[in-house]
């Protein structure tokens, strides 16, 4: 009887073991039925990476700048409708895009420089998911290097090899609130708004320093420059005239960014002696603080093709002006144009 009881007990224990083992075993097709879709189908079902946000640069940027900030700016411009090469180089095409964008914004100064106002306008365009039509403000640059394709930009190079279009008239020409040695209201008293504002600040600083600056000649139209050059040729011959007077289109005065300055000590004339006056010395030291350069410096005639003109001030913006004046460069050298 004992052996029979043990046999029954053994059989029951074996049966219990088999039942437990069966309950713990996973069904063969369980993984197939419950696996996440992304694991089942592998790489094809992976989530698409989110598009990386591009931040608007905080700093002012202009032609010749380069780096990550410029790259970010180019990416932003592409988001609003342009098709720039994103290479981190603030080149002619990036300058064109900025200028074109500015020209399509109501009431915005057109400079070709990325600044606070441009940043705000781009931010609004991104927030509103609005886009612009490229080249509806300014045509794309062409390959004719003898003509300035973007005459609106602050750093436009105007010289004997790069002429302004005959029909170009600057936007926002105004008369700066500074002293002139004559009265009335004539076109040569005008400058573009951005340059006029800077000139007023410079004259105020000059007054505070006790110097006596006068503005003599600013904007000139293409036709007016044509008449001036013809008169100089008649008096001095074309070869000599071309060393101090520009042919029509080749004068910076047409850009609206230039003002000739003078002082009572030299009878309000425009002569090299101005550089030796207190006013001339002060301008040499401080003009860059207000965005101006002496466009035709001493000893640079081979590059500029013009004689030394300490009275001829050209607005290029503070960043460029400070570097140009500190390093003793011409605008051609600064822009890398030989």
Locate 324 and state its tokens.
Answer: 């140009």
Is pLDDT of 27 > 70? no
Residues 200 and 265 in one domain: yes
Q: What does the pLDDT average to over 161-185? A: 95
Phi and psi torsions of 257, nearest 5°: -110, 5
How many H helices and E strands in the chain? 13, 6
Residues 98 and 188 in one domain: no
The pairing of beta strand 258-262 with beta strand 173-174: unpaired
Query: Domain holding 83: CATH number?
Result: 1.10.101
Residues 177 and 118 in one domain: no
Residues 200 and 285 in one domain: yes
The label of the residue with tokens 């696996």 reads 35
Locate 242 and state its tokens.
Answer: 């071309």
Q: Which pLDDT tens digit goes with each residue over 219-247?
A: 999 999 999 999 999 999 988 988 888 99
Q: Which pLDDT tens digit goes with each residue over 102-115?
A: 999 999 999 999 99
Total Cβ atoms within 10 A of residue 199: 25
Is pLDDT of 141 > 90? no
Considering only CA atoms, which of 95, 41, 27, 29 is closest in space to residue 66? 95
**Spatial distance between the Cα atoms of 169 and 225, rounded to a whole number of angstroms:** 13
State whether residue 59 is helix, strand or coil: coil
Q: How much is the pLDDT for 13? A: 52
Is pLDDT of 28 > 90? no
Q: How much is the pLDDT for 259? A: 98
Is residue 287 one of the residues assigned to a domain?
yes
């Amino acid at each position: 009887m004992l052996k029979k009881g043990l046999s029954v007990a053994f059989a029951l224990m074996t049966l219990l073991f088999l039942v437990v083992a069966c309950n713990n075993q996973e069904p063969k097709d369980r993984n197939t039925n419950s696996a996440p879709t992304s694991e089942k189908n592998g790489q094809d079902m992976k989530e698409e990476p989110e598009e990386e946000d591009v931040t608007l640069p905080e700093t002012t940027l202009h032609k010749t700048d380069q780096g990550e900030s410029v790259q970010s700016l180019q990416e932003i411009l592409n988001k609003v409708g342009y098709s720039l090469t994103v290479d981190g180089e603030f080149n002619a095409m990036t300058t064109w895009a900025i200028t074109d964008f500015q020209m399509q914004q109501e009431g915005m100064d057109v400079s070709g420089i990325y600044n606070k106002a441009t940043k705000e306008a781009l931010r609004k365009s991104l927030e509103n998911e609005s886009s612009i039509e490229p080249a509806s403000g300014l045509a794309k640059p062409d390959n004719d290097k003898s003509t300035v394709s973007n005459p609106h930009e602050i750093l436009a190079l105007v010289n004997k090899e790069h002429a302004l279009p005959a029909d170009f008239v600057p936007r926002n020409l105004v008369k700066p609130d500074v002293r002139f040695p004559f009265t009335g209201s004539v076109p040569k008293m005008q400058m573009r708004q951005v340059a006029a504002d800077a000139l007023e600040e410079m004259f105020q600083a000059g007054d505070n320093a006790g110097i006596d600056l006068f503005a003599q000649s600013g904007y000139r139209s293409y036709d007016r420059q044509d008449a001036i050059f013809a008169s100089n040729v008649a008096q001095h011959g074309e070869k000599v005239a071309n060393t101090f007077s520009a042919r029509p289109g080749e004068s910076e005065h047409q850009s609206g960014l230039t003002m000739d300055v003078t002082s009572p000590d030299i009878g309000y004339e425009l002569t090299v002696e101005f550089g030796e006056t207190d006013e001339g010395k002060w301008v040499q030291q401080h003009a860059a603080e207000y965005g101006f350069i002496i466009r035709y410096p001493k000893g640079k005639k081979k590059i500029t093709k013009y004689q030394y003109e300490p009275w001829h001030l050209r607005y290029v913006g503070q960043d460029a002006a400070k570097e140009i004046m500190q390093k003793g460069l011409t605008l051609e050298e600064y822009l890398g144009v030989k």
